Amino acid sequence: MNIQWYPGHMTKARRMMQEDIKLIDIVIELVDARIPLSSKNPDIDSLAGQKSRMILLNKYDLADPEHTAEWERWFKGQGFYVYKLDARKGGQMKAITNIIQEACKEKIERDRKRGIINRPVRAMIVGIPNVGKSTFINTYAGKACTKTGNKPGVTKGKQWIRLNKNVELLDTPGILWPKFDDPAVGERLALIGSIKDEILNISELSIRLIEFLKEFYSGILAERYAVDENCDKIAILEKIAEVRNCRQKGNVLDLDKASKLLIDDFRSGKLGRLTLEFPQEQKI
Ligand code: GDP
């Protein structure tokens, strides 16, 4: 499937992010735990330069825990600090700030040697649209935290949110553009809902999901829709339409409606916690 993507304001966004990155010590990148690589923009690697790096495997509540653990090891092997989370839920602030401090320990040590003590580490959130950046900032920096930087007389300063005495967060996240050149990546982004459904071929996408589930999560379709998974993928979609009574006028099966239903069930976690790509074997 070929998904067209129009770069639009990317150059400007990139330039702004370059400026923001100069101000911070650590780049915290949110990726979607169901597709950790496809939802990661490789450009941030060069943009981030030598800054400390942390990956948050977000929407962990929707991803397969076993594969998330593999991804966690994989990213650690690449030199990232890693944490998996559901950004909508609080209570993980301490664990996250501890990792941020650990990731920035060299900088803290450099400061200490220069006689600078207790200067907070500064962090910035980045990620592709819809990955959960605002949710994360709201949960972690919500009411409990004080905003700094917008002091009277400082009209244009950056707004920093003080998470605690050790960490400050830039209040505007950096929006990264998804990768758009690899059709397989486009498909995965489409499945998790990061590309507008209007520009997608939903039926084609649902067929790809059926193929993937048959291969990697056998039993799931049979369990939820009482279909025989040995059938051909189109027959499976027809069966889903039948079971869920997706019909057009004249009692004809409505495969578009069934496709949408299947994809919605996947996105909302009704099919269970699923991961669409694996570190060893990039597939779907
Ligand atoms: P942003 O575009 O990166 O700022 O993404 P948002 O913060 O607006 O989140 C996009 C959608 O994902 C919203 O509907 C959030 O409620 C949802 N969301 C964010 N984090 C999580 C998570 O960890 N788990 C689940 N299930 N949904 C999440």
The answer to whether 94 is annotated as binding is: no
Assigned domain for 124 exists: yes
User: Within 13 A of 133's CA, how many CA atoms are on the CB side?
Assistant: 20
Are residues 35 and 99 both part of a single domain? yes
The answer to whether 130 is annotated as binding is: yes
Assigned domain for 226 exists: yes
Assigned domain for 279 exists: no
Distance 130 CA to ligand 1 centre (A): 6
Structural domain including 88 reads 10-175
Q: What is the dihedral of CA 194, 200, 202, 203, to 10 degrees?
A: -140
pLDDT in tens, 4-38: 454 556 777 788 889 999 999 999 999 999 999 99
User: Among 6-15, 90-99, 255-264, which range has the highest average pLDDT?
Assistant: 255-264
Q: Is 70 exceeded by the pLDDT of residue 282?
A: no
Are residues 84 and 126 both part of a single domain? yes
Are residues 138 and 14 both part of a single domain? yes
ipTM of the complex: 0.99
The answer to whether 139 is annotated as binding is: no
Q: Whose CA is nearest to atom 2 of ligand 1?
A: 130
Are residues 169 and 40 both part of a single domain? yes
Average model confidence (pLDDT) across the chain:
88
The answer to whether 134 is annotated as binding is: yes
159-165's contacts with Cβ under 8 Å and 24+ in sequence apart are: 160/122, 161/137, 162/120, 163/93, 163/97, 164/93, 164/97, 165/118, 165/120
Assigned domain for 146 exists: yes
Distance 185 CA to ligand 1 centre (A): 20
Q: Which residues line ligand 1 (CB under 6 A)?
A: 58-59, 61-62, 86-88, 127, 129-135
Assigned domain for 154 exists: yes
What residues contact residue 152 under an 8 Å CB cut-off, 6+ apart? none
Residues 54-75: what's their mean pLDDT? 97
Q: Cα 265 to chain center, whole Å?
A: 18
Answer with the residue of higher pLDDT: 81 or 196: 81
Are residues 142 and 227 both part of a single domain? no
Are residues 242 and 135 both part of a single domain? no
DSSP letter for 232, please.
-
3-state secondary structure of 130: coil
Assigned domain for 2 exists: no
Distance 135 CA to ligand 1 centre (A): 6
Are residues 122 and 257 both part of a single domain? no
Distance 5 CA to ligand 1 centre (A): 22
What residues contact residue 260 under an 8 Å CB cut-off, 6+ apart? 197, 202, 206
What CATH number does the domain containing 43 carry? 3.40.50.300
DSSP letter for 223, please.
H
Band the pLDDT of 152: cuts 50, 70, 90.
very low
Are residues 244 and 139 both part of a single domain? no
Residue 206: which of 245, 238, 181 has the closest Cα? 238
How far, in Å, CA of 177 to CA of 41, rounded?
7
Assigned domain for 274 exists: no
Are residues 52 and 113 both part of a single domain? yes
Least confident of 57-71, 136-150, 156-170, 216-230: 136-150
Give me the number of domains the chain comprises: 2
Q: Is 60 exceeded by the pLDDT of residue 154?
A: no
Answer with the residue of higher pLDDT: 9 or 213: 213
Q: Whose CA is nearest to atom 24 of ligand 1?
A: 59
Are residues 213 and 171 both part of a single domain? no
Least confident of 13-17, 46-50, 126-130, 187-191: 13-17
Residue type, 47: L
How far, in Å, CA of 81 to CA of 180, rounded?
26
E strands present in the chain = 26-32, 52-58, 81-85, 121-127, 146-148, 160-164, 167-170, 174-175
User: With contact defined as beta carbons under 8 Å apart, do 82 and 152 qualify?
Assistant: no
Are residues 256 and 208 both part of a single domain? yes
Locate 42 and state its tokens: 């490789």
What CATH number does the domain containing 252 carry? 1.10.1580.10
Are residues 123 and 247 both part of a single domain? no
pLDDT in tens, 107-128: 999 999 999 988 899 999 999 9
Q: Report the percentage of the chain scoring pLDDT > 70.
A: 89
Q: Is 50 exceeded by the pLDDT of residue 268?
A: yes
Distance 65 CA to ligand 1 centre (A): 18
pLDDT at 157: 66
Angle between helix axes 255-267 and 233-243 (nearest 10 degrees) is 90
Least confident of 34-48, 51-65, 255-269: 34-48
Assigned domain for 184 exists: no
Count CB atoms within 10 A of the CB of residue 121. 22
Phi, psi of 252 (to 5 degrees): -80, 140
Q: Is 80 exceeded by the pLDDT of residue 91?
A: yes
How far, in Å, CA of 31 to CA of 40, rounded?
6
How far, in Å, CA of 129 to CA of 132, rounded?
8
